[in-house]
Amino acid sequence: MLTYRIAYLLSALGYSPWQLMAVTFTNRAAGEMRERLARMLGQEAARALTVGTFHATCARILRREASTAGLSADFIIYDADDQLSLMKQTLAELNLDEKRYTPQAMLNAVSRAKNDLILPESYPIHTAYDRTVQRVYARYQETLRANRGLDFDDLLLEVVRLFDRQPEVLEQYRQRYRYVLVDEFQDTNIAQYVILRQLTQDHRNLYVVADEDQAIYSWRGADYRNIQRLREDYPELRQVLLDVNYRSTQSILDAAQAVIALNRHRTPKALVTRKGPGTAPVIHAAYSESDEALFVATEILRLLARYRPNDLAVMYRTNAQSRILEETFIHAGIPYRLVGGTRFYGRREIKDVLAYLRLTLNPDDDVSFLRVVNVPPRGIGKQTVALLQSSAAQGGSLYRAGLNLLTQNNRAARSLEPFLRLLEQWRALAAQGALLALLDQILLDTGYEAYVRDGTEEGEARWENVLELRNVVAEANALPLEEFLTEVALVADVDQMETERSQAVTLLTLHSAKGLEFPVVFIVGAEEGYLPHSRSQEDEEQVAEERRLFYVGMTRAMDLLYITYAMGRRIYGEFEAREPSRFLEALQKKPPARERVGATEAVAKTGARRPESEAGPKAGRWSDAGWKAAGTQPSTQFRAGQQVRHPRFGVGQVLESRLERGQEVITVLFEGERSPRMLLVGVAPLEKA
């Protein structure tokens, strides 16, 4: 839309290329726009246009107006790593504990303030923590300026301040840029909106492409309410609805529209497609996360008769959800690639925890020793490590060198002793054969949770990954440590296979899916706690954003859409009953379980290994075909009319009890509830009342 609008302004309305500013959100989008315009208008016109991201455009303005803006002309721009280093320096100078005031959390607070155009002296103080943030913000800015540096947020903030303080400079840019065009306007923050308003307040020539239904980046500072601000500040605004969809079938569009229609503060749209009605979305109720992953794998194997692997995508809310999918795909022989993330067993936090377990099994493992000896930081510096390496070079491992060092009464010995004593305690615990207890003790003793949960979204995601590894350990709790590490190593080894996109199914988070499209899309984990996420369930605005995220995922599908959820899932190592996402209520009142026994058996024949079912036999791993071969269909524990008790839902009456693939599923109407619940007996903590 922006590309053709620019071409129209230049060719039909007579604007000169230098009079136009086009703003996008990624360098890639800016590059594609420039390439298209070069093909349409020629290289000379494309080069004369101002096309780029907000930050790149503001950087050029500040370079040009550095002296007027009070900046050094050779200012440097600090990237994310530079900013983190500078924040650590700031905290050290202010004698603040990094464990309490984590550098990333402080950076996030400063970034939010800058995006909202709040300077250090104006930072709102409601708590003691806010006062600390203000001190950190002020000192951080002082250090930036002393280093003649700007961070990314400064690029926006300083342009706003320049235009506010120097009206004549603003007027020059207003005269130059007679038309401003913006893509993905719903993702703008306050600072970006103010810059646009400053530039266009006189000539009013502002053109934006926006969709409130795709606003999913509030955690980055984006504010979809800028669309409403635009309507208020530009009452003459003309709105053009783009209601023809060229990607999805009508069935997929209708389902997505039914979901998003429940959000307030949006522009109603009745989307139509050129592709015809298509197949209705499939909603599948799985028994557990293992069964859910197996269902996805069986459907993919069936669909590969008609589609290429790169035509299929599996989407989820959190990175930790990829683990069971990855393992199931490996056992089923399905090639996959991860978008926007490291494969599960390659993630830093997973490698850290596994290194602790490997070191517990084999303290002479120098690679694992070096990885975790000071992670989390415990005062073991580079000099101590160098001393250990020098001693080990004479013969022996770093661990043995550390034990020898303990005989000396020096600083290095004192810093090492707590770690080596913990390692001995873990080895004694491992000898008792309880994997889960060992892992929990390691996490407790090392303070690893506080280390990774640094107050950021990324930190929360890292801890969720650790908890997912805990689920893996809980499933294998009866295995000896060496067997568990062997199994993980084998999976992780296959995990490293690089696959071309044309040969692989795509695994990605819903956030990463924006802007992409696939003929077939699976959205897994459509449950309360995932969609909406547990951190969003109590906030109406955040639930609305989670609904938009679900909508974005649904509308990535071109031909087929699958939505799955589990009735029970291992959470923090324990099985608990799960509820379907409230977002599914818009699609149908009671999503039914979908039986795919034949497809499941097809996977079993490929050699796919189904993880041990929490409701199945305790020994061995069984596919559905395994139940039939054994001829041991279990009997039901409950019958219709019986009274049952659930610790969360209270007392209820069983309406139906049935066996499905060797597992008992009951339908219960609990007192005080209007509709019955479907529960998996092997998962739900039920007892007869």
Domain-by-domain residue ranges, the chain? 2-67+156-233, 76-147, 275-343+496-611, 346-461, 628-688
The answer to whether 312 and 586 are in contact (CB under 8 A) is: no
Q: What are phi and psi of 601, to 5 degrees?
A: -65, -35
CB atoms within 10 A of CB 34: 18
- CA dist list (Å): 664 to 346, 392, 579, 633, 680: 37, 58, 17, 10, 6
- The whole-number pLDDT of residue 577 equals 85
Q: Report whether pLDDT(502) > 70.
A: no
| End-to-end Cα separation, the chain, in angstroms | 63
CA atoms of 34 and 53, how far apart (whole Å): 12
**What pLDDT score does 623 carry?**
32
Q: Please say if the pLDDT value at position 41 is more than 90.
A: no
Residue range 26-50: mean pLDDT, rounded: 86
Q: Quick one: which of 177, 151, 220, 211 has its CA closest to 16?
A: 177
Query: Does CATH place domain 628-688 in 3.40.190.10?
Result: no
Give me 365's structure tokens: 């493992």
The residue to which tokens 């770093």 are assigned:
398
pLDDT, tens digit, for every residue of 66-95? 999 998 877 888 877 778 888 998 999 899
pLDDT exceeds cutoff 60 at 607: no
Query: What pLDDT is stored for residue 620 in this prediction?
Result: 29
Most confidently modeled range among 295-299, 342-346, 518-522 = 518-522
pTM, two decimals, is 0.65
| 10: its two tokens | 């230049």
Q: DSSP character for 579? A: -
User: What's residue 341's pLDDT?
Assistant: 65
Report whether 531 contacts 570 (CB < 8 A): no
Residue 542 CB-density burial (10 A; 0-12 exposed, 13-18 middle, 19+ buried): middle
Q: For residue 357, give Cα distances in angstroms to 343, 363, 450, 484.
A: 19, 10, 19, 10
pLDDT of residue 24: 87
Q: Which CATH architecture has domain 275-343+496-611?
A: 3-Layer(aba) Sandwich (3.40)
* Burial degree of 568 (CB within 10 A; 0-12, 13-18, 19+): buried
Contact 586, 261 (CB under 8 A): yes
Report the alpha-carbon angle 445-451-457, nearest 5: 140
Evaluate whether 2-67+156-233 and 275-343+496-611 have a shared fold: yes
What does the pLDDT average to over 600-626? 32
Is omega for the bond preceding 532 within 30 degrees of 0, making it cis?
Answer: yes
> CB neighbours of 292 closer than 8 A, spacing ≥ 6?
284, 286, 324, 524, 525, 564, 565, 566
Calculate helix-pair angle for 190-200, 152-165, nearest 10 degrees.
30
Model pLDDT for residues 539-591, shown as the tens digit of each residue: 888 899 999 999 999 999 999 999 999 988 887 777 788 899 999 988 874 33
Give Cβ neighbours of residue 632 (< 8 Å, ≥ 6 apart): none
User: Hey, is 656 helix, strand or coil?
Assistant: strand
Q: Which residue has the higher pLDDT, 137 or 149?
A: 137
Tell me the CATH number for domain 346-461.
Answer: 1.10.486.10
At residue 112 the predicted structure's pLDDT band, cuts being 50, 70 and 90, is: very high
- Percent of the chain's residues with pLDDT above 90: 39
E-only strand ranges, 510-662: 518-523, 557-566, 568-571, 574-577, 643-646, 650-660
pLDDT at 490: 56
Cα(559)–Cα(341) distance, integer angstroms: 26
Q: How far is the C-alpha of 463 from the C-alpha of 213, rounded, in Å?
A: 29
Give residue 5's pLDDT: 93
Q: How far apart are CA 666 and CA 653, in angstroms?
A: 10
What percent of the chain is modeled with pLDDT above 70? 88
The two structure tokens encoding residue 242: 């783009």
Nearest 5 degrees, angle CA 450-CA 456-CA 461? 75
Strands (E), 309-394: 312-316, 336-338
| Distance (Å, whole) CA 111 – CA 152 | 9
Task: Please choose, from the candidates 138, 196, 187, 190, the residue with its C-alpha nearest in 3D space to the C-alpha of residue 163.
Answer: 196
Least confident of 89-93, 203-207, 235-239, 621-625: 621-625
- Burial grade of 595 (CB within 10 A; 0-12, 13-18, 19 or more): exposed
The residue type at 495: D
Residue 183 has pLDDT above 80, yes or no: yes
The CA distance from 593 to 604, in Å, is 20
pLDDT band at 4 (very low <50, low <70, confident <90, very high): very high
Identify the architecture of domain 2-67+156-233 in CATH.
Answer: 3-Layer(aba) Sandwich (3.40)
pLDDT classification of 598: cutoffs 50, 70, 90: very low
Residue pointed to by tokens 């008992």: 664
Name the CATH architecture for the domain at 76-147: Orthogonal Bundle (1.10)
Alpha carbon 571 to its chain centroid, in Å, reads 18
The residue type at 356: Y
Tokens 């139509």 appear where?
Answer: 272
pLDDT band, residue 634 (cuts 50/70/90): low
Per-residue model confidence (pLDDT) at position 74: 76
The pLDDT value given to residue 611: 36
Q: Rounded mean pLDDT of the chain?
A: 84
Q: Which residue has the higher pLDDT, 594 or 462?
A: 462
Residue 313: what pLDDT?
96
Strands 179-182 and 206-208: parallel
Mean predicted confidence (pLDDT) in 136-162: 91
pLDDT of residue 282: 93
Bigger pLDDT: 523 or 608? 523
CA distance linking residue 121 with residue 142, whole number of Å? 12
Query: Across residues 477-501, what is the average pLDDT?
Result: 64
pLDDT of 196 over the 90 cut? yes
Please give the pLDDT value at position 676. 66
Angle, alpha carbons 587-591-597 (nearest 5°): 130
- Candidates 100, 11, 12, 114; CA nearest to 55 is 114
Greatest mean pLDDT among 480-494, 502-516, 520-534: 520-534
pLDDT for position 331: 82
Helix (H) or strand (E) holding 535: none
Query: Is residue 629 pLDDT above 80, yes or no?
Result: no
What's the Cα-to-Cα distance from 665 to each of 206, 650, 657, 682, rounded to whole Å? 58, 18, 6, 9
Mean pLDDT, residues 516-535 taken together = 93
Q: Which of the four pLDDT bands, split at 50, 70 and 90, describes residue 492? A: low
Q: In the predicted model, is pLDDT for residue 147 greater than 50?
A: yes
Name the most confidently modeled range: 262-266, 502-506, 523-527.
523-527
Per-residue pLDDT, 438: 93
